Amino acid sequence: MKVRESEETYLETIFVLKKANAHLHAVDIANELGYSKPSVSRAVNLLRDRGYITIDASGHISLTPEGEARANDIYERHSVITELLVHMGADRTLAEDNACRIEHVISPEMFEILKAYKKTV
């Protein structure tokens, strides 16, 4: 998996999990993604080093303002693409799986076109 794609997967997962649980730990991310705890620990440390998250003394993970903005953008791409694929006839699981792949490669210009189109359907 490419670094950017992996980073985006982690940020989106943190964003979604934080909505449900204010006290998010690396183990929660590992459980959600089905990744090993050492892999998640390494990724979380990289996200912290890049300024996207903070980790307090208790191990609680929070998004920084920059991380929150980036994660929100990723989540928006995922949501819009999923809903368009469902509207086109895909079942939700198929749409979700494909949206996960598409969201990492779609250009900003193409995404804006999809967002505009979604408003018309």
Question: Rounded to an integer, what distance in angstroms lies between the CA atom of residue 46 and that of residue 52?
Answer: 9
Mean pLDDT (whole number) for 31-37? 94
For the residues 7-25, what does the mean pLDDT come to? 93
C-alpha R_g of the chain? 15
Contacts 24+ apart (CB under 8 A), 104-112: 104/2, 104/4, 104/5, 104/8, 106/77, 106/81, 111/77, 111/80
22 pLDDT band (50/70/90 cuts)?
A: confident
**46-70 mean pLDDT:** 96
**In this structure, what token pair is assigned to residue 74?**
């990723």
The pLDDT of residue 106 is above 50: yes
Give whole-number Cα distances, 56 to 4, 62, 82, in Å. 25, 8, 34
Give this prediction's pTM: 0.87
- In percent, how much of the chain has pLDDT > 70? 96
Return the pLDDT at 1: 43
